[in-house]
Amino acid sequence: MSPKNNFHEYTVKEAYKSLTADHWIIQRRSKRVVDYKFFAYYHPYTEELIEKLNTDGLVAMLDVNYLSNLKENLTSFYTV
């Protein structure tokens, strides 16, 4: 196999030859400041879905007819 066709023998060596001396200087970066905010989320059907899962199983909980009958009036809670 020719050295020019071998990735490790040619490509990497040529890439390192093209690097300048200042490429290897470690540069200090300022400390990253992160401001995360976490909020508790409550799904309106959590209690009904857990109850259905525990009593009738996963297939019954994922039944389209059962899911379509879940109704929750959220307009009074989410008012602007």
In this predicted model, what pLDDT tens digit does every residue of 5-62 receive, in sequence order? 666 666 666 767 777 777 777 778 788 888 888 888 777 888 899 999 999 999 999 9
Radius of gyration of the chain (CA): 30
Cα–Cα distances (Å) from 62 to 45, 51, 53, 58, 74, in that order, read: 13, 12, 9, 6, 22
Do residues 45 and 75 make contact, with C-beta atoms less than 8 angstroms apart?
Answer: no
Angstrom distance (rounded) from CA 69 to CA 48: 11
pLDDT for 57 = 95
pLDDT for 71 = 81
What distance lies between CA 56 and its chain's CA centroid?
Answer: 32
pTM for this model (two decimals)? 0.42
């909020």: which residue's tokens?
39
